[in-house]
Amino acid sequence: MPKYLYKKKYWQFFLGSALVVVAVITIEEVVLEPIIFAGTKRGDTFPGVYVSLLGTLPVMFILSGCKFGWDALKKQAQIDELETTIQESELQFLRSQINPHFLFNNLNNLYSYALQESPKTPEIILEMSGVLRYMLYESKEQFVPLKKELEQLGNFIRLYKLQIEDRGEVHFDVDKIEAEYRIAPLILIVFIENAFKHSQSGQSSDIEIDISVKLNNSTLEFLCKNNYEPGFSLDSVAKGIGLTNVKKRLELLYPKKHILQIEEADNSYKVYLKLELEKV
């Protein structure tokens, strides 16, 4: 079966099967029965081809079915392992895109502050190094503790608040979380980064960004709202690599366990994410 049938060499398979049947009947009638049933009618006579086939074929079909089922189980196990490997590789690739994306956006901002010789430049560099350290070394696992992720989320928000200065207000509310849950790293950061980009790109004052994180039993509810200047196009921002990346990661890591809603009004942009988390 593995040598011919699975390789779609059907003529060779059926010819080989016929030869096996002939060989089995011959061995049974010529060798085994004369020894086992010596001196009896069964041992001395040949009952005929049809009678021999009725005794041989059912056994062969049963054994072939068992072989086919066993091989199918092994093949499915190989497919599952391959799918897991592909999924892990894709997740690693998606995660590797986040660091350059983060650097690209923040180095541009840092460059403008350096040109202005802003006294906040060293503080921004320090905050950036902390966030990058987490991205590069502490978020390599597929899932990380929720508390650690939220702590880095706070650091990330402080980094962007330094850039807004007195041009608006940023609110970050997190419910007190007692239980130990885990979450995919760098999921929420992308939405927050987009919120700051929306507001900063379209307006220079009256920036309003509201971020909240709640945990009800094992369900995480994340809400991020920001305003932007009417008439400013969000296409280039909302359809960037960051948002596409995080949507793909959610599909891979939380299939049928997440709800993502993105709403755009006249001068506001809102992201609502609901995740089913697992305990550590």
DSSP letter for each residue of the chain: -TTTTTTT-HHHHHHHHHHHHHHHHHIIIIIIHHHHTTTSHHHHS---HHHHHHHHHHHHHHHHHHHHHHHHHHHHHHHHHHHHHHHHHHHHHHHHHHHHHHHHHHHHHHHHHHHTT-TTHHHHHHHHHHHHHIIIII--SSSEEHHHHHHHHHHHHHHHHHHHTTSEEEEEEE----S-EEE-TTSHHHHHHHHHHHHHHH-SS-EEEEEEEEEETTEEEEEEEEE--TT---HHHHTSHHHHHHHHHHHHHSTTSEEEEEEE-SSEEEEEEEEE-EE-
Residue 96 has pLDDT above 70, yes or no: no
CB 195 within 8 Å of CB 224 = yes
Q: Which of 53-62, 219-228, 266-275 has the lowest mean pLDDT?
A: 53-62
The pLDDT tens digits for 33-81 are 788 877 777 777 777 777 777 878 888 889 888 988 898 888 888 777 7
* Closest among 205, 195, 198 to 228, alpha carbons compared: 198
Residue 236: the pLDDT is: 47
Mean pLDDT value across residues 85-96: 60
The half-sphere exposure of 79 on its side-chain side, counting CA atoms within 13 A, is 6
Share of the chain above pLDDT 70, in %: 84
Residue 190: the pLDDT is: 83
The pLDDT tens digits for 156-197 are 888 888 777 777 888 999 988 777 899 988 888 888 888 887
Structure tokens at 144: 């990380």
Q: What is the bridge-based pairing of β-strands 268-276 and 207-216?
A: unpaired
Residue 238: the pLDDT is: 44
pTM of the predicted structure, to 2 decimals: 0.62
Residue 106 has pLDDT above 50, yes or no: yes
pLDDT-derived band at 220, boundaries 50, 70, 90: very high
Residue 76: the pLDDT is: 84
74 or 201, higher pLDDT: 74
CA dihedral 246, 248, 254, 258 (to 10 degrees): 70
Residue 237 has pLDDT above 60, yes or no: no
123 or 18, higher pLDDT: 18
Measured CA to CA, the distance from residue 251 to residue 257 in angstroms comes to 9
Residue 157: the pLDDT is: 87
